[in-house]
Amino acid sequence: MQNRFRVEMYDEVKSNDLTIYSEQGVDKEYLTELIYSNISRFDGNIKAYVYDTLKKKKTTGAFVPMEITQSIKKQIGLPTALLLDSI
């Protein structure tokens, strides 16, 4: 079945929502990888879950607190800031 699984990630700001569709199942590890690869799009607490459209229920969920989100965003921005200072 095409696009059987829907991965939804969101934070407190409704315009930052992200939905990804998948034909294969999404486990906890892959969901975490998706969150961290898209973390620059979010501010605050991040909530994510996988919805199985065939069974019509949530299968996997994850939560990333605001402190971790801000910490990672600082680390992502730090190398760019250092690079710009050296020019």
User: 37-82, pLDDT tens digit by residue?
Assistant: 888 888 889 999 999 999 999 999 999 998 988 888 887 766 655 5
Number of domains in the chain: 1
pLDDT score at 31: 93
Residue ranges making up the domain that contains 9:
5-85
Q: pLDDT band at residue 2, thresholds of 50, 70 and 90?
A: confident
Q: What is the pTM of this model?
A: 0.76
What is the rounded CA–CA span in Å between residue 63 and residue 32? 9
Query: Any idea which of 20-24, 32-36, 79-83 has the lowest mean pLDDT?
Result: 79-83
pLDDT score at 87: 52
